[in-house]
Amino acid sequence: MQETSNGTTAIQKKAKEDRYQYHDYYGIDELLSEEHLLARGAVRDWVKSEVSPVIEEYAERAECPRHLFKGLAEIGAFGPSLPEKYGCGGMDEIAYGIIMQELERGDSGIRSMASVQGSLVMYPIYRFGSEEQKMHYLPKLASGEYIGCFGLTEPDHGSNPGGMITNVKDDGDAYILNGAKMWITNSPVADIAVVWAKNEEGKILGMIVEKGMKGLSAPEIHGKWSLRASITGELIFEDVRVPKKNVLPNVVGLKGPLSCLSKARYGIAWGAIGAALDCYDTALRYSQERIQFGKPIGGFQLTQKKLAEMITEITKAQLLAWRLGTLANVGKATPAQISMAKRNNVYTALTVAREARQILGGMGITNEYPIMRHMMNLETVLTYEGTHDIHLLITGMDVTGINAFK
């Protein structure tokens, strides 16, 4: 890449010119590599051309824009930090985070499609699967040929997945799977599900359950006021015969699914910033254009207080995500650090959305602007992948050394 006279490359220069648009108040772009900026630009362009023009309508109809799975695959959103050998991106963890940020600027549900596929389906197969399973499933998932889902939560076991009752019984070369999973993103449209179930000794195993297996059904859950452009369902297992070759051989116990959650929660810590930026950007522009009492509402101190606090909190969230990314790149991001970032950044985004909604007055509640959709989406993001309070307790446990869950 050609350098300019002051040593910055053309891409860095362009990112700087776009600074206002990206709201990079603390110059974090200077800490990003050429690859990060390229990935961000490509995903952002895709979101602008493919997601933003249609997302309000899909959300209004509570319909999943299924055609976007292919596009997400083409821009490398599925498993961006998994190895190229399996058809994945081979990028670092910061690139993965930035991709999630740009997707969630479009819609949390679109980011969810990528989070589940990459972090909750491909990652466990990559981390805990056999080489044969990796070669068989990962390229198909990376290319969007297969859609995957992740079954951990049950009707009676949400925050406490260790209490799960979904179970398998040994039957020679297969396991017989019984039970039910609830609130499963993408389950009604999924080709495969990574499912966590207890064996006869009470140990948790992970397995790949395929669409079409007898006894498997995945009814859709209707009536969500949040994440309406993302499809959610159940997974019901009635004597499903799962071949033993479908079991992930390299993990036993709750740390299997919880490790996947760490990967996905990391992505959400970045993703939420995207939703916050879209709300902030919308409110800032509106405040400069909307005239009341003879001047733009952005000229009133109370509006400036809202905007100043929004950009302060967004900047803190950006710094947290960036530092977490540098730790993740060297394998040093702890689950508790990830919990802190997920909790803080999602709450920041929700607060920003609520403040932005106020700045737009009545217009803020309409689908002319993206704020209400982001706000409703973020209510789910605050709850899934571990609720706001569960992450608080994880931090509490980390700093006190005392486990509030036992």
Q: How many alpha carbons lie under 13 Å from residue 92 in its C-beta half-sphere? A: 16
Q: How many chain residues are in contact with ligand TGC, going by CB under 6 A?
A: 25
Q: Near ligand TGC by CB under 6 A, which window of 88-96, 132-140, 159-167, 276-284?
A: 159-167
3-state secondary structure of 216: strand
Query: Which of these, 164, 337, 185, 175, lies nearest to 254 by C-alpha position?
Result: 164
Q: Near ligand TGC by CB under 6 A, which window of 18-26, 53-61, 96-104, 158-166?
A: 158-166
**Can you tell me which of 219, 243, 253, 361 binds ligand TGC, judged by CB under 6 A?**
253
Query: Which of these, 135, 69, 127, lies nearest to 263 by C-alpha position?
Result: 127
State the nearest-atom distance from the C-beta of 161 to ligand FAD, in Å: 8
- For the stretch 153-157, contacts whose Cβ atoms lie closer than 8 Å and that sit 24 or more positions apart, written own/partner, are 153/181, 153/182, 153/183, 153/184, 154/179, 154/180, 154/181, 154/182, 155/180, 155/182
Query: Which of these, 185, 366, 152, 207, lies nearest to 268 by C-alpha position?
Result: 185
Q: Near ligand FAD by CB under 6 A, which window of 124-132, 162-170, 242-250, 379-387?
A: 379-387
The DSSP 8-state label assigned to residue 149 in this structure reads E
Helix (H) or strand (E) holding 339: helix 335-359
Q: Pick the catalytic residue: 93, 234, 355, 385? A: 385
**Rounded to 5 degrees, what angle do the CA atoms 43, 144, 78 make?**
45
Residue nearest to ligand FAD (CB): 158
Distance in angstroms between the alpha carbons of the first and the last residue of the chain: 55
255 lies in the site for ligand TGC, by CB under 6 A: yes
Site string for ligand FAD, 264-303 (x = CB under 6 A): ----------------------------------------
Q: How many alpha carbons lie under 13 Å from residue 276 in its C-beta half-sphere? A: 31
385 is catalytic: yes
State the nearest-atom distance from the C-beta of 370 to ligand TGC, in Å: 19
389 touches, from ligand FAD, ligand TGC, none (C-beta below 5 to 8 Å by class): ligand FAD
227 lies in the site for ligand FAD, by CB under 6 A: yes
When the beta carbons of 106 and 151 are compared against ligand FAD, the nearer one is: 151
Site string for ligand TGC, 94-133 (x = CB under 6 A): ------------------x--xx-----------------
State the nearest-atom distance from the C-beta of 385 to ligand FAD, in Å: 6
Q: How many residues does the chain have?
A: 406
When the beta carbons of 25 and 225 are compared against ligand FAD, the nearer one is: 225
**What CA–CA distance (Å, rounded) separates 68 from 74?**
10
Determine how β-strand 295-296 pairs with β-strand 216-217.
unpaired
Residues lying near ligand TGC in the complex (CB under 6 A): 112, 115-116, 150, 152-153, 159, 161-162, 185, 253-255, 258-259, 261-262, 264, 335, 384-386, 390, 394, 405
Residues that bind ligand FAD (CB under 6 A): 116, 149-153, 158-159, 183-185, 227, 232, 380, 383-387, 389-390, 393, 405
